[in-house]
Amino acid sequence: MSRDGDQKAARELRRRIFLERRTYRRNRLQDAAKLLPVLGGFLFFGPVFILTTEAGVGGGTAGWLVFFLGIWLALIALTAVISAALYRITPPGEDEKDGA
């Protein structure tokens, strides 16, 4: 009887650890999704502030357009990857339970 109780407790502990890891991963992915706009702001405006001289913005317009397009596409791709990972982790119907 005691052995069955120990095995059941061990299974419950393993199950709880699995759920905690999944929740932890989901929370970190949600945090990453929330920080994407901040990353985008730094990537878009950081070089403008750094490379600006007294005479004006360094480099040609075409180079800046290619830079901004590349950053924009990279942010879209990163958002798609994070969104797909969150979709795989979150069980169906769980977002209705949160009340968000």
Please give the residue that has the higher pLDDT: either 58 or 4: 4
pTM of the prediction? 0.63
Please give the residue that has the higher pLDDT: either 43 or 2: 43
Local structure of residue 76 (DSSP, 8 states): H
**Rounded Cα–Cα distance for residues 23 and 29 (Å):** 10
- At 23, the pLDDT band (50, 70, 90 cuts) reads confident
Q: Give pLDDT tens digits for 45-97.
A: 877 777 666 555 556 777 778 888 999 999 999 999 999 998 888 777 765 55
Amino acid identity of residue 51, one-letter, is: L
Please give the residue that has the higher pLDDT: either 8 or 37: 37
Domain locations in the chain as residue ranges: 2-90
